[in-house]
């Protein structure tokens, strides 16, 4: 009877955990989940109570993220404009300067994200396509950090332990369930060769002699438990290795300040830029010393950035940064021009715009000032253009430049037919300038304007006493620049019978500047050092999987200078070459 034919049971789970102990041995050294080390409470998260035993191979311990999500008011279109670091629960005034607050752990034992786990399993087992084995895994809570791959969110609790164990079991069953699957996994039936080759792919480095010997014992145990046959032994080895911390965690162990070794660098690059485990060819390059210096890493990074998988990773980055998930939750009342059927097109147009940024070698300057956008049959009437049969690249002309003047962003940040001035301003203030927006005690719903009252007059009156400091000086001015677009993103010249007023000024890091409208604001931002340092902060936070803080300021200044004059790809390459990426950092464990 083959292993793949047996049903999961508690007893079988116990057998596997015992097999893992045989495979890896016991060690007094514990590695904490990202929430904190064993028995340790880390800033910004509740520490793991048990830790993760690198020797047993089984993940254990628990942790929970300790931050509260940033408080924000509902947009009225299906999503709050929150995100980023958690708020304190009370009200404080914001700031226009680049905010570098955070609570990084600097863990050097980084758990794979669910997506990375799925793609790594697909590649090391050589499935033809992802089997969606991680579909039921617990997801990190959106809003507790800028990105869901942040180290503080990748803790391991008892549910995660169960997720990984069941995922490993299901993966092993698929990989050994048919002759074709076995042939794709490994040619031949020699157990020692299988353990060595599969172990190298799973652990992203060669096995030590001790590990190879112990996994040979696991292979033999599989045949002993389930009967002779390569599939039975291989299946138990797969289960054991996929549940091992050597697979579940990407490590940067060794003396702080020393360069990552070739295998560590290969894994770090591949999981960041391709979202999956290193290929056999990349592991070969690591073994040959080709990733031991900045030039070698740069060459690999440039090649990766041209692969289709890199586009998928960048879609995730931009989607989280600009909150694409909110497009599916938009709703409007008494606005006949709008239908929920439009939501998918809004999201699709946004994804296509940023895909073009990636594939055409563009950067923040084009994100802010490009007049090209993707327009489909539902969006075209809102732009006042003839509807195409499908999404197509269209020039919007000089009155609409950059992503923030396109219908998707403007409609998302619109309250029924009225512009959502506060959240439009907050998006620029927080997402583009990385400035602290303040944490309001509450955000009241916006009443309807009185007869003859413009939206700008209403917002000015509404915020004159409630949070006046952050609104009058910071959020409102940025939002007022978009007053010539209503809640659907349609251009308008009049508001309640009066000419719209889009002029304002904002206290940038390098001084207060005035702008006549959003077009002028976007051009200011495109040449603004703070905006490019903010963009660099987002890229670095996603790449390094941690909060970016004051000690990273010189890194952001350096990367921001690259962003000012080059593409997003060049910014990524500059980060790969930087010691912040190449060297082991001081941190846990």
Q: Strand 109-111 and strand 498-499: pairing?
A: unpaired
pLDDT of the residue at 20: 30
Question: Could you tell me if residue 356 is left (phi over 0), alpha (psi between -120 and 50 degrees) or otherwise beta?
Answer: alpha
> Distance between CA atoms of 214 and 196, rounded to whole angstroms?
11
Which residue intervals of 96-155 are DSSP H helices? 114-124
pLDDT of the residue at 51: 33
Q: Write the CA distances from 440 to 81, 87, 228, 252, 456, integer angstroms.
A: 13, 9, 66, 39, 20
> Distance between CA atoms of 345 and 39, rounded to whole angstroms?
48
**What tokens appear for 408 in the block?**
């998707």
> Distance between CA atoms of 231 and 214, rounded to whole angstroms?
18
> Distance between CA atoms of 157 and 298, rounded to whole angstroms?
37
Which residue intervals of 306-449 are DSSP H helices? 308-321, 343-359, 364-369, 380-383, 407-412, 421-426
Domain ranges across the chain: 3-66+111-251, 314-526
**What tokens appear for 577 in the block?**
């070459």
**What tokens appear for 366 in the block?**
């084009």
Low-confidence ranges of the chain (pLDDT < 70): 1-94, 437-444, 466-469, 588-589
Strand residues in 247-292 grouped as ranges (E): 249-251
pLDDT of the residue at 9: 32
Contacts from 4-13 at CB under 8 Å and sequence distance 24+? 4/172, 4/173, 4/174, 4/176, 4/177, 4/231, 4/235, 6/226, 8/166, 8/169, 13/165
The residue among 147, 164, 360, 357 whose CA lies nearest residue 272 is 147
Using CA of residue 262, residue 267, residue 272, residue 273, what is the dihedral sign? positive
Kindly report the pTM of this predicted structure.
0.85
Q: Which H helix or E strand runs over 549?
A: none
> Could you please report the per-residue DSSP string of 37-93?
STT---TTEEPPSS-EETTT-------EE-PPPPP--B-SSS-B---SSPP-SS-B-
> Could you please report the per-residue DSSP string of 410-463?
HHHTEETTEE-HHHHHHIIIIIIT-B---B-S--PPPPPPPTT--HHHHHHHHT
The residue among 173, 180, 183, 188 whose CA lies nearest residue 235 is 173
**What tokens appear for 343 in the block?**
């939501």
pLDDT of the residue at 464: 82
pLDDT of the residue at 53: 32
**What tokens appear for 91 in the block?**
């009200």
486 within 8 A of 418, measured Cβ to Cβ: yes
> Distance between CA atoms of 337 and 335, rounded to whole angstroms?
6
> Distance between CA atoms of 323 and 325, rounded to whole angstroms?
5
């Amino acid at each position: 009877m083959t292993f793949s034919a047996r049903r999961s049971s508690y007893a079988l789970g116990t057998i596997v955990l015992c097999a893992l102990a045989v495979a890896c041995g016991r060690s007094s050294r514990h590695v904490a989940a990202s929430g904190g080390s064993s028995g340790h409470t880390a800033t910004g998260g509740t520490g793991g109570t048990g830790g993760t035993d690198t020797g047993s191979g089984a993940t254990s311990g628990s942790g929970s993220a300790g931050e509260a999500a940033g408080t924000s008011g509902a947009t009225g279109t299906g999503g709050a404009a929150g995100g980023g670091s958690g708020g304190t629960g009370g009200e404080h005034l914001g700031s226009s300067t680049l905010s570098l607050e955070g609570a990084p752990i600097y863990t050097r034992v980084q758990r794979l994200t669910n997506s990375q786990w799925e793609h790594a399993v697909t590649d090391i087992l050589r499935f033809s396509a992802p089997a969606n084995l991680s579909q039921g895994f617990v997801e990190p809570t959106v809003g507790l950090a800028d990105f869901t791959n942040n180290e503080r969110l990748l803790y391991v609790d008892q549910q995660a332990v169960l997720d990984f164990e069941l995922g490993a079991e299901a993966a092993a069953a698929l990989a050994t369930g048919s002759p074709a699957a076995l042939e794709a996994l490994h040619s031949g039936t020699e157990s020692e060769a299988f353990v060595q080759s599969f172990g190298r792919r799973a652990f992203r480095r060669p096995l030590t002699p001790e590990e190879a010997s112990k996994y040979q014992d696991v292979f033999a145990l599989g045949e002993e438990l389930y009967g002779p046959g390569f599939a039975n032994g291989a299946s138990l080895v797969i289960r054991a290795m996929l549940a091992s911390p050597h697979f579940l965690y990407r490590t940067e162990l060794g003396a702080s300040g020393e360069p990552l070794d070739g295998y560590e660098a290969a894994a770090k690059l591949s999981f960041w830029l391709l979202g999956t485990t290193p290929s056999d060819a990349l592991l070969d390059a690591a073994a040959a010393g080709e990733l031991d210096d900045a030039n070698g890493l740069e060459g690999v990074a440039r090649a990766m950035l041209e692969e289709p998988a890199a586009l998928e990773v960048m879609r995730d980055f931009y989607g989280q940064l600009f909150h694409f998930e909110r497009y599916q939750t938009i709703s409007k009342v008494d606005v006949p021009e709008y239908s929920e059927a439009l939501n998918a097109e809004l999201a699709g147009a946004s994804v296509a715009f940023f895909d073009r940024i990636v594939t055409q070698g563009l950067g923040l300057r084009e994100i802010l000032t490009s007049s090209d956008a993707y327009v489909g049959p539902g969006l075209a009437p809102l732009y006042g253009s003839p509807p195409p049969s499908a999404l197509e690249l269209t020039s919007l002309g000089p009155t609409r430049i950059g992503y923030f003047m396109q219908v998707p962003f403007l409609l998302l940040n619109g309250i029924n037919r009225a512009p959502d001035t506060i959240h439009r301003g907050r998006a620029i203030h927080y997402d583009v300038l990385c400035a602290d927006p303040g944490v309001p005690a509450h955000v009241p719903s916006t009443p309807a304007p009185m007869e003859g009252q413009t939206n700008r007059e209403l917002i000015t009156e509404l915020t004159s006493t409630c949070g006046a400091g952050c609104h009058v000086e910071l959020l409102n001015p940025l939002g007022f620049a978009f007053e010539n677009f209503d809640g659907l993103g349609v251009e308008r010249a009049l508001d309640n019978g009066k000419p719209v007023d889009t002029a304002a000024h904002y206290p940038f890091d390098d001084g207060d500047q005035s702008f006549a409208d959003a077009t002028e604001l976007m051009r200011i931002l495109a040449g603004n050092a703070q905006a490019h340092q903010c963009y660099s902060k987002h890229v670095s936070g996603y790449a390094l999987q941690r909060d970016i803080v004051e000690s990273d300021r010189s890194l952001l200044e350096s990367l921001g200078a690259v962003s000012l004059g080059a593409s997003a790809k060049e910014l990524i390459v500059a980060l790969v070459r930087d010691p912040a990426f190449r060297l082991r950092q001081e941190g846990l464990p």
